Structure 1
Amino acid sequence: MTLTFIQNMGGASLLLFLIFGILYTIFWIYCLVDVLRSEFKDPNMKIIWIVILLFAQGIGPIVYLAMGKSTKITNYS
């Protein structure tokens, strides 16, 4: 079933899905690296954000960028 769906897609649609998938993967890796390199107000927040990014892959990075900044320690030096 899936194979026939892919075979019936046009080249432009397949290319669009491929580009979207690559960009989303880069976005997800950026968020994961940002969590690993950041310091948080609560030490448990790092683990919580990693779990959210790993198990809620569809919306995890979007939620992290929207809400994660308020849980970080900001050092402007």
Structure 2
Amino acid sequence: MRISQLAARPGVPAITPRSYESAERAGAVAESAATEQRRCPFLDFVPRLDGPRLRLRVQAPPEGTALLAEVFGPPV
């Protein structure tokens, strides 16, 4: 299943993989997340600066579990 085939479902819990980057990459990561969200508006990208680290949480409908795990690894 492709990410673009998934649909958002209000009230359905999302899965939440996370990616960790250097805070210095915040601009590039935010730009990439914005581009991906335009393509797949049902994805939710939540960046969080935590000192020298940038945490990126990505949420998707439950149908996206396998695909997001393939891209980001298992949820943490």
Shorter chain as denominator, the TM-score bin is under 0.3
TM-score by length of 1: 0.27
TM-score by length of 2: 0.27
The structure with the greater share of residues assigned to strand is: 2
